[in-house]
Every structure is written in C-alpha cells, then in structure tokens.
C-alpha cells in the first residue's frame, strides 16, 4: 500500500468533512464551528493563510489535519482525524510533523489547539511532541473543548517522527 502526505486539493474537500464528522459524531456532537470549517474549508482555512494536509493510502484520503492562523505568530492545529481502520500506524505523527514544519516555515512562535481531556490517544500525541496545557481555558467556540494546549516553537521545530 502506498502512503503519502499531500496538501489540500479541492477534490478531497468532501473527505476532509467525512473524516472529521466520523470522529466528532463518535465522541461528541457536531457544532456550528465544525459546520463552518467543514462545509467551506477554502474560505475558513486556506484563504486566511492556513493549510490542510491529507494522508493518502493508495490515493484515498485516510487522515487529515488543518492549520489555521490564530493570532500573529500562532497557528491553530485543528480537525485532525485518522480513519478508524488506519489508526495505530503513526499516521497522526506524520500529520503532526507536517503541521510543525508548516508553522516553522512561516516563522510561527507557537501552535495552539483546543481539545477535550477525554481524548487520551490525542493527548498522548500532543504531549509527546511538546504541547503543554494552558493554565486557564478560555476558548468558547466549542462546547466539547475543555483544554487548550500550546507548543512553543524553536527554529527548527521539533521532529515528532523520531523518538516517540
């Protein structure tokens, strides 16, 4: 099986939505912010200066993640999803490394994310590459969110493909 990482293509917009709706509906409820980003990823992620990455298995999207400008010098890592039957193959690590490289190439000082502390596998990945919880959670965009984490970047950024 051929596994490759690519950046956003319009032909995969529906897969971006599908992969994310799968995990959101499995653990939580779809919220307005989800619908906005997933129904028009170009307007909400690409056009403001972000990127969407996909992992393809034999040409079919099986994983995805988005990087969106959050504030000057900070990108938000969002909408990370790996299809259930492809989990456990370190594809999320490849997606994470693409996000870190993307932010470093744009001289960002931090990557932030909003998550839920019940998502143990995701928390393990975030912590393994150096994300740290923010003391006070203030993001009100998602009902399911209860934890903000930030990764402080140094140039060059951490390499999550080694030592995890």
pTM of the model: 0.92
Domains in the chain with CATH codes: 3-152 (3.40.630.30)
Q: Do 113 and 128 contact (CB within 8 A), yes or no?
A: no
CA 72 to chain centre: 19
pLDDT at site 154:
79
pLDDT at site 161:
52
| Residuewise pLDDT in 10s, the chain (164 residues) | 999 999 999 999 999 999 999 999 999 999 999 999 999 999 999 999 999 999 999 999 999 999 999 999 999 999 999 999 999 999 999 999 999 999 999 999 999 999 999 999 999 999 999 999 999 888 888 999 999 999 999 755 455 554 44
Rounded Cα–Cα distance for residues 69 and 94 (Å):
20
């Amino acid at each position: 099986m051929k596994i490759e990482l690519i950046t956003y293509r319009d032909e995969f917009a529906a897969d971006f939505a599908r992969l994310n709706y799968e995990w959101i509906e499995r653990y939580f409820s779809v919220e307005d912010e989800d619908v906005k980003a997933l129904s028009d990823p170009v307007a909400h992620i690409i056009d403001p200066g972000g990127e969407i990455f996909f992992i393809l298995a034999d040409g079919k999207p099986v994983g995805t993640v988005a990087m969106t400008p959050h504030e000057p010098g900070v990108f938000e890592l969002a909408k990370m999803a790996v299809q259930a039957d492809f989990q456990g193959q370190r594809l999320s690590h490849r997606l994470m490394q693409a996000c870190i490289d993307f932010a470093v190439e744009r001289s960002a000082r931090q990557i932030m994310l909003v998550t839920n502390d019940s998502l143990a596998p995701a928390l393990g990945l975030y912590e393994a590459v150096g994300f740290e919880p923010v003391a006070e959670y203030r993001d009100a965009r998602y009902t399911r969110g209860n934890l903000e984490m930030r990764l402080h970047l140094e140039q060059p950024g951490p390499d999550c493909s080694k030592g995890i």
